[in-house]
Amino acid sequence: MSKVRIVTDSNCGITQAEAEKLGISILPMSFLINGEEYYEDVNLTQQEFYEHLAQGADVSTSQPAIGAVTELWEKLLAEGYDIVHIPLSSGLSESCHTAETLAKNYEGRVQVVDNQRISITQKQSVFDALKLANDGLSAAEIKDYLIRTKFDSSIYISLNTLKYLKKGGRLTPAAALIGSILRIKPVLQIQGEKLDAFKKVQTLKQAKDVMIAALRSDLSTRFKSLVDAGEMSIAVAHTANDAEAELFHKDLEAAFPNIPVTFCDSLSLVVSCHIGPGALACGCMRVAK
């Protein structure tokens, strides 16, 4: 049986240093900032990224270069690995479709997983893939599991500002102005591939309450059998909001004492481009046993 190597991108929140310890490969997402190219966690830190945003820089995202993807794959294939490649959700980036097209040239040795995950849920997919690889499953079998379980997750995100939704064309200037005047803090959701509206609140406390209630509903209905089987976990994510994220982590542990709260991570910079700093998020996801 061939060895299996897990490849993903920096949207999962795993750093290059962490990836080296885990024995996986991370393709850094690229950004154009005022016309200059940067790579997440290579020559662009989280702090530097938010400094650019605060200065009003022109920031846009791009998928990993085709050459960088194939060069990494071919290196790993030459070392005797089959590959499970877990990119950012196809609903948020073309990088998945690009990888799927490229993989057709490798006779089944590269399995691209479009399980429509991002950030903390994508990270869990990576850990699931690692476990299954260590259990002896093939790359194709790991892909099959990740596809079958792709909708066993939810993410809820509370925004601190409407500025970046407006800037990215996802909100009209009038709506952004009204929202700012009324101090509306939208709570968004990711159920599969898209980032969609969920509820509107006016305070961070209300946002936290809404997100906890949403998780409680998911865990007691859609995912009840998985909770009973001990196959669900909860995680926290944020954009430059470490202190509130740590407090929210404790809130979630108190609200769900029987479900592990595993990660407390920074959200992907790709998402951060569209929602800005100060966001707070939580999610729940199935864990491979």
Do residues 234 and 273 share a domain?
yes
Task: Flag whether 23 is in a domain.
Answer: yes
Task: Flag whether 127 is in a domain.
Answer: yes
Supply the pLDDT for residue 4.
98
What value, to the nearest 5°, has the Cα angle with vertex 132 and ends 90 and 150?
Answer: 30
Do residues 25 and 113 share a domain?
yes
The conformation of residue 276, written as its DSSP 8-state character, comes to -
Query: What is the number of other CB atoms lying within 10 angstroms of the CB of residue 98?
Result: 18
Do residues 199 and 122 share a domain?
no
Do residues 136 and 158 share a domain?
no
Q: How many residues does the chain have?
A: 289
Do residues 208 and 281 share a domain?
yes
* 0.75 exceeded by pTM: yes
Tell which of 99, 125, 148 closes a domain: 148
For tokens 């669900």, the residue is 232
Do residues 110 and 228 share a domain?
no
Supply the pLDDT for residue 173.
43
Supply the pLDDT for residue 177.
39
**How many domains is the chain built from?**
2
Tell which of 119, 148, 177 closes a domain: 148
Could you list the mean pLDDT of each consecutive 10-residue stretch along the chain, which spans 289 residues? 87 93 94 92 92 90 89 97 92 85 96 91 96 97 96 92 62 42 72 76 92 97 97 96 96 98 90 88 95
Residue 131, domain CATH: 3.40.50.10440
Q: What is the DSSP string of 7-53?
A: EEEGGG---HHHHHHHT-EEEPPEEEETTEEEEBTTTB-HHHHHHHH
CA 205 to each of CA 65, 185, 254: distance values in angstroms, whole numbers, following the listed order: 41, 11, 15
Supply the pLDDT for residue 189.
86
Domain around 192: 153-286
